[in-house]
Amino acid sequence: MAVKDDAAEEKALGKIIAGKLREQLQSEPSGCPDVEILSAYFERTLSSSERMVCESHLMTCPRCQLFVAELARLSEADERPVIVAEPEIAVEEETGWRFRLAWVAPVLVILIVGGVWYAEKIRNYIRPPEETTMEEPTPPAREAAKSKDHPLAATPPLTPAEEGTPKAREEQKKQVATAAPPVTAAGPAEGQQPAGSGITIKGAVPEMAPGAAVGGIAAPSERDRLAASAAETRVLQIPAGPRPAEAANRAIAAAPPSATPETARKSGRETQALAKQAVGAKPSALTDYTIQGYTPAYHAKWRVGRGGLIQKYETDRGWIDVPSGVQVDLFDVTFSNASIGWIVGHEGTVLRTTDGGTNWSKVSSPTSEDLVRVSAIGDQKAQVMSRSGRAFVTTDAGRSWKPVNEQ
């Protein structure tokens, strides 16, 4: 007993169906719609009533069915070939991706930890004046406070872990109330003009913590906060003459050392104001941040045509001829960047340019069939498609070609 073959059964049944359908089509079709209506039917631009009439005719007319079928077959030429990645390149990209991931993870951890730590510092630094009782000393001030000669040397300097804590703030309040400590200015910030030149500093925002930035540019989570504070433009006038720190110190020293708590608090606020003026802040990395972009120059207009015609569009001159060196019909042109371009045409013609289209040279061809489409990526890689739908790819600027695998 024969084994049942579903595929053969399906195929044979299909033949019967085809035969019977042909039988049922009109032997003498009539009333065929015109070419434009059939074209519009294929493109689905007919009105609903037109479509209904056309379809009822198509159901019985073999000629019109064949007509529409041919339009469907020809419309496949409208699809552009897609560059297929070579297996070697795909593997390379995969390992490169994994490699990048391997070192990104630890950097991310550092950024997150640094960002959290610095966020706390920023919050303390950008506190509003009326609420702030004591400014956190800037790093140089802290360093100065650690020296023996510094009035604050009597008190043990704060450890980094203690800085910014409530205990530290209390400690500093006491110190201001009892002996107005001089605040050592940071001095002219990097890139600024030296003191005495009467410069204006905008946006006194502290410098970035190393952990929170890469390459001097604020991490995304920090940028918004910094941008907001940078918007509070505080114009500080550093007077010409002695160093700002000295002026501040003189102002601070003018306060009586044994003032009452009330006057001490008042003078403390004044001191803070002077201290702020004295502190030379560096401009934020955010204000120096630039965004770079480019416009691809190769998006110029090109066209190709009969008899080896190549033309380029220039704004002031219009379409100008470019010598191709061939006489055959050319069908498609593309550029992968400003310099590298490809043209394909009749009987397997492939042209390539490396100087933006000024000169074109013939390269080897994968076939003697007409080539009707070309796509390119990078300097060396291109894919072409023949009229029959066969696709070929080169990865060595056209020196050799191989067929793209059938899908």
Partner 1 sequence: MASLTFERFFSGHRKRLEAIYESSGAKTWSVSFDELARAVWEGINAAASVEPGKIPDLLQKIRADELALALACAKGNERAWEAFSFGYRSAIYEAACSFSPDLGVARELSDSLAAELYGVESGEGPRRSKLTYFHGRSSLRTWLRAVVYQKFVDEYRRLSRLEPLPENPEALAAESRAVSEQDEHRYVKLLSEAVSVTLRELPGAEKMLLGFYYVQQLTLKQIGRIRGEHESTVSRQLDAVRKKLRKQIENYLRKVKKLNAYEVDQCFNYVARGVMVDLDAELKKERIPQEGTGGSF
Choose the stretch contacting partner 1; rule: CB under 8 A; options: 112-120, 156-164, 298-306, 359-367. Answer: 298-306
CB of 91 to partner 1, least distance (A): 30
**129 near partner 1, rule: CB under 8 A:** no
Choose the stretch contacting partner 1; rule: CB under 8 A; options: 76-84, 91-99, 268-276, 334-342. Answer: 76-84
Neighbours of 192 (CB within 10 A): 16
Chain residues 172-231 in contact with partner 1, contact rule CB under 8 A: none
3-state secondary structure the chain: CCCCCHHHHHHHHHHHHHHHHHHHCCCCCCCCCCHHHHHHHHCCCCCHHHHHHHHHHHCCCHHHHHHHHHHHHHHHHHCCCCCCCCHHHHHHHHHHHHHHHHHHHHHHHHHHHHHHHHHHHHHHHCCCCCCCCCCCCCHHHHHHHHCCCCHHHHCCCCCCCCCCCHHHHHHHHHHHHHCCCCCCCCCCCCCCCCCCCCCEECCCCCCCCHHHEECCEECHHHHHHHHHHHHCCCCEECCCCCCHHHHHHHHHHCCCCCCCHHHHHHHHHHHHHHHHHHCCCCCCHHHHCCCCCCCCCCCCCEEEEHHHEEEEEECCCEEEECCCCCCCCEEEEEECCCCCEEEEEHHHCEEEECCCCCCCEECCCCCCCCEEEEEEECCCEEEEEECCCCEEEECCCCCCCEECCCC
**23 near partner 1, rule: CB under 8 A:** yes
Can you tell me which of 20, 98, 299, 317 binds partner 1, judged by CB under 8 A? 20
**327 near partner 1, rule: CB under 8 A:** no
Name which of 35 and 102 has its Cβ closer to partner 1: 35
Choose the stretch contacting partner 1; rule: CB under 8 A; options: 60-68, 92-100, 133-141, 397-405. Answer: 60-68
Choose the stretch contacting partner 1; rule: CB under 8 A; options: 43-51, 84-92, 186-194, 203-211. Answer: 43-51
* Contact by Cβ (8 Å): 247, 278: yes
Name which of 158 and 326 has its Cβ closer to partner 1: 326
Number of residues that bind partner 1 (CB under 8 A): 70
Name which of 37 and 189 has its Cβ closer to partner 1: 37
**297 near partner 1, rule: CB under 8 A:** no
**328 near partner 1, rule: CB under 8 A:** no
**358 near partner 1, rule: CB under 8 A:** no
Name which of 72 and 101 has its Cβ closer to partner 1: 72
Choose the stretch contacting partner 1; rule: CB under 8 A; options: 73-81, 110-118, 126-134, 167-175. Answer: 73-81
Can you tell me which of 167, 306, 399, 402 binds partner 1, judged by CB under 8 A? 306
**370 near partner 1, rule: CB under 8 A:** yes
Distance CA 125, CA 112 (A): 20
**315 near partner 1, rule: CB under 8 A:** no
Choose the stretch contacting partner 1; rule: CB under 8 A; options: 40-48, 98-106, 205-213, 397-405. Answer: 40-48
CB of 9 to partner 1, least distance (A): 4
Give the interface with partner 1 as residue ranges (CB under 8 A): 2, 4-5, 8-9, 12-25, 27, 29, 32-40, 42-50, 55-56, 58-59, 61-78, 303-306, 329, 331, 370, 372, 387
